[in-house]
Amino acid sequence: MEKPDIKKISIIAITWPIFIESLLHMSLRTADTLMLSQVSDEAVASVGVANQLIMFMFFLFQFISTGAAVVIAQYLGAKKYNDIKLLTGNAILINLLFGILVASTIMIFSRQLLGFFSLEPELFEQANTFLLIVGGALIFQAVSVTMSAIIQTHGYTKETMFVTFGMNILNITGNYLFIFGAFGFPQWGVPGVAISTAVSQFLAMIAYALVLYYRVNLKVEWKEYFTFQKERIMKILRIGVPSSISMISYSSSQIVTTGFITLLGTQMLATRIYSLNILFLVMILGISLGRGSQIVIGHLIGAGKMEEAYKQGLRSGRWSIIIALGVTVIVTTFSKPLLGLFTSDAEIISMGVILLLLGFLLEPGRCLNLVYGAILNGAGDARFVMIESVAVMWLFSVPLYYILGIHLGYGLIGIWIAFIADEWARGLFVYFRWRSNAWRKKAIVKQEDKEMEKLA
């Protein structure tokens, strides 16, 4: 096959564009929230609830995209180029079909899904409208997330960053036109924001396809999309299924938590949404360093450089905590002005300041969880991450959310403390797993070589 173009990768060169891209992805939601806050706190709450469901469905697409990215990274490190085009074609087609299924399901059952949250009638209708439009656009996201992951695995993280930047500009422009009725556009509020989001995601999908074909030089032919091989698909699923179950489990727990918070009223729900939007700035540091480390460590493991991969993992964990705490200092210093961008409600701002201060306890644990979870997946040890994640969240964290927040009456503060305990518990599990070196036996390329030796 024609060899794809692979950039020489380093952790800094790979990670900083992923950080900017992740910041842009998060700011897309923050921009929606900020601009909708000019309409009403109720509009923010309705879109926030709908987005919980959207994110849950979005995580379903990680089954294929994460698995394909990890397998391709190790293949690139081992210089096994023959299967990469076929892996790419299969991953894109499977996620396209899956996207059609998920989008259809969410549109057909939107009212039943939203019924879980016990929303007030006005909030329910706004959330349902948003869910129907953006849920339908999940087809575009299914394809985009797959192509983006594969592009990044080849080292082209700046290119995916630029695509996301363009998507943000289009989305914010659309929000402005539909929310404020600029240049004669109708003032559609929540439906307008949903339409803007869907259109920008469709155009981003087209841009990713062009980058994959022309920049990465990964020219997948039509027949390669449909040339399936059981062993190839199983390699993807062996990583993708466990890592996706971990994300789905987390997203499900957050939906349950949102259900608890709705019992506390719209004001507390809006407070949580505003505070999380601000803390996303810190969270994406861990996500970015974890994703960048996953790519680099995947290449190193594929090349058989296990000790170098181990040391890189430890460095990534240390730096993520140091940087996250530094950014938390900035966030807490300007907490009132930042919250003031979203609302003028004094009670929301007062409670939000407390939640942001608790970020000093939250972020170190969350960094451990995000970074070591990602690199264990990249090493092929996704099953362990899945088991510990699901067990901790549903046997410990979700019950603790209810006990502290609702049963004992500590409200949103109690739920936030449970949130901190959850991140630390899962973070310590994956940290000590990395230190144990048990992941070295899980490398896909290593297992493949053993199978070849047996056959020989």
Classify residue 287: in a domain, yes or no.
Answer: yes
Classify residue 329: in a domain, yes or no.
Answer: yes
Q: Which residue has the tokens 């409670």?
A: 351
pLDDT one-digit tens code per residue, 395-411: 999 999 999 988 898 98
pLDDT at position 453 is 43
Mean pLDDT score, 370-380? 91
Classify residue 4: in a domain, yes or no.
Answer: no
pLDDT one-digit tens code per residue, 234-259: 888 888 888 888 888 887 888 888 88
> Which range of residues forms the domain containing residue 316?
11-443
Q: Is the pLDDT of residue 25 over 80?
A: no
When mean pLDDT is compared across 158-172, 177-191, 207-221, 376-390, the lowest value belongs to: 177-191
Between 48 and 430, residue with greater pLDDT: 430
When mean pLDDT is compared across 155-164, 268-277, 333-342, 439-448, the lowest value belongs to: 439-448
Classify residue 376: in a domain, yes or no.
Answer: yes
What pTM value is reported for the model? Answer: 0.77
pLDDT one-digit tens code per residue, 288-342: 888 889 999 988 888 888 999 999 999 999 998 998 889 889 988 998 998 888 8
pLDDT one-digit tens code per residue, 54-101: 877 777 787 788 888 888 888 888 777 767 888 888 889 989 999 999
Instruction: Specify the number of domains making up the chain.
Output: 1
Classify residue 220: in a domain, yes or no.
Answer: yes
| Band of pLDDT at residue 44, cut at 50, 70 and 90 | confident
